[in-house]
Amino acid sequence: MARKFFVGGNWKCNGTLDEVKKIVSILNEAEVPPEDVVEVVVSPPFVFLPLVKSLLRSDFSVAAQNCWVRRGGAFTGEISAEMLINSNIPWVIVGHSERRLLLNESNEFVGDKVAYALLQGLKVIACVGETLEQRESGSTMNVVAAQTKAIADRVSHWENVVLAYEPVWAIGTGKVATPAQAQEVHSELRKWLHDNVGPEVAASVRIIYGGSVNGANCEEQAAQPDVDGFLVGGASLKPEFIDIIKSATVKKK
């Protein structure tokens, strides 16, 4: 089964109203491959989500950067999955390393969030990835497998899940994983899914790479057989995001 290339733009905690409108107009004017070649999802901060959704071209979609783990209620500062659905926000990013590390989100908590968001009808970009220390001690695959297992233990349908492999040492550092390093983890992760979830899920789930992806390195990464797209931080705020979207055509060559 062909996996449609997926490019996510994670704007993180950045932008003013004017900047956000400018990014959207650049996206709206861009010529990119058609929807059957690439799926594009941008993730602005919560306060800009409805505006971006209303201004953005209809072939691109939007994602929240987080949501609460269960039904909403007395959880000051949180946004629930129900609210996202109610606002027609189709996607959510869950388990980004910045939240795992800075806000102590555990594998189990992330797994619970993924399961709850899916149950409400959201599509989920679920992030996994090792720290530099973990890579250097040789535990990359154990870490990524444990993060994925916490999701797999709670989820039985994977159609609405995109897995983002984002090595923590590559995020925002300019130190992109080599295409071989990305391919190695992606193929190991697919094998893990094959053995622990099932062959259909392994063959169909998109595994995207994140960590210092930019206009210059995206084509080489996109050419890796198990790299099904990208989650882009810094470069998603710049015009080169368009080049990253266009790298989807590498798969057609």
Q: Select from 71-79, 81-89, 106-114, 206-214 the region that touches ligand PGA (CB under 6 A).
A: 206-214
Instruction: Write the CA distances from 198 to 65, 81, 107, 165, 247, integer angstroms.
Output: 28, 27, 21, 19, 29
Position among 140, 211, 218, 241 found at the interface with ligand PGA (CB under 6 A): 211
Helices (H), the chain: 17-29, 49-55, 81-86, 97-102, 107-120, 132-136, 140-152, 179-196, 199-204, 218-222, 241-246
- Give the residue numbers annotated as catalytic, written as ranges: 96, 166
Tell me which residue has tokens 């929807």.
35
Q: Which is nearer to ligand PGA, 177 or 201 (CB)?
A: 177
Residue 95 binds to ligand PGA (criterion: CB under 6 A): no
- What Rg value do the Cα atoms of the chain yield, rounded? 17
Nearest approach, Cβ of residue 232 and ligand PGA (Å):
5
Residue 213 binds to ligand PGA (criterion: CB under 6 A): yes
Residue 7 binds to ligand PGA (criterion: CB under 6 A): no
Taking CB under 6 A as the rule, which mask of x and - marks residues 131-170 in contact with ligand PGA? Answer: -----------------------------------x----
Q: Which is nearer to ligand PGA, 65 or 107 (CB)?
A: 65
Q: Select from 64-72, 77-85, 209-217, 220-228 the region that touches ligand PGA (CB under 6 A).
A: 209-217
Q: Which of 147, 189, 196 is nearest to 168 (CA)?
A: 147
Position among 20, 145, 161, 232 found at the interface with ligand PGA (CB under 6 A): 232
Contacts for 76-79: CB closer than 8 Å, 24+ residues apart: 79/46
Residue 172 binds to ligand PGA (criterion: CB under 6 A): yes
CA atoms within 13 A on the CB side of 223: 8
CA-CA distance, 53 to 38, in Å (whole number)?
18
For ligand PGA, the binding residues (CB under 6 A) are 10, 166, 171-172, 210-213, 231-235
